[in-house]
Amino acid sequence: MQTLRAIYILWLRQLKRYLRSRARIIGSLGQPLLFLVALGFGFGPIYQKAGGGNYLVFLGPGIIAMGILFTAIFSGIEIIWDKQFGFLKETLVAPISRLTIMTGRTLGGATVALLQGVIVFIMALLIGFRPSAWMLTPWSLAVMLAIAVIFASFGTAIASVLDDLQGFQLIMNFVVMPTFFLSGALFPLTGLPKAIEIVSRLDPLSYGVDALRWTFEGVSYFGIGVDALVLVLLTVVLLGIGSYLFSRTEI
């Protein structure tokens, strides 16, 4: 009971931080909105002439995943802030395990990223994104949550071994941009050069984007069974790695 209460308190703390920062909420929506408008309407006619259909419908799941990815992975930066200002030390000396602390913080970051994904989804609907498989759409929340937990765990793991804020940002930018652009968020994975196809299959976000497309359109490149299996395995593995590295954090 004490462990669950501690996880709840840490989760609520992360959520309150996000909700109090209106500038952060608005600012984080700028990039997804730019991609939806500029690419959705800019490349839409070309994509349609090539026989691909409505590009905004194709693009929507990828941009929703992007909003979750950026928010989740950069939630780890708060660990470095807490290290520098001494807040993490106060948390770590509490009579609870470090696994509990890591779980609460990760779930808090994942919840924030999930909210970000829902907001981007609503924005996409307002712009003209229309899912064709409405019966499957509620499953998108489960997929969004899986993506959020995976990358929040990854961000926590990296932040646990770093003390430099700039170093974290550089590493995350080096990871985030290739992860997003090679996930099939902006282009179909069919007919790619072999090297790009292999990298895309190794990209964890590819399976999240593909699963989101299934929940919105009822179509999947890898197969929804493969997507679900990979997302579940990645969630377990990265939570384990994040827990281990956070347990070795020095204060």
The reported pLDDT for the residue numbered 185 is 87
H-assigned helices in 76-164? 77-85, 87-92, 98-127, 140-160
The reported pLDDT for the residue numbered 84 is 66
DSSP assigned state of 190: T
The reported pLDDT for the residue numbered 145 is 92
* Domain ranges, residue 123: 2-247
The reported pLDDT for the residue numbered 40 is 79
Residue 48, token pair as written in the block: 């349609």
Q: Residue 206 is which amino acid?
A: S
C-alpha to C-alpha distance for 31 and 53, rounded to whole angstroms: 24
Low-confidence ranges of the chain (pLDDT < 70): 1-3, 6-11, 14-25, 27, 51-52, 82-98, 249-251
The reported pLDDT for the residue numbered 31 is 82
Residue 37, token pair as written in the block: 């408008």
- What's the pLDDT tens digit per position in 62-79? 999 998 998 888 777 777
Residue 184, token pair as written in the block: 């099939």
Q: Per the structure, how many domains does the chain have?
A: 1
Residue 21, token pair as written in the block: 């920062």
> What angle separates helix 77-85 from helix 140-160, to the nearest 10 degrees?
40
C-alpha to C-alpha distance for 121 and 123, rounded to whole angstroms: 5
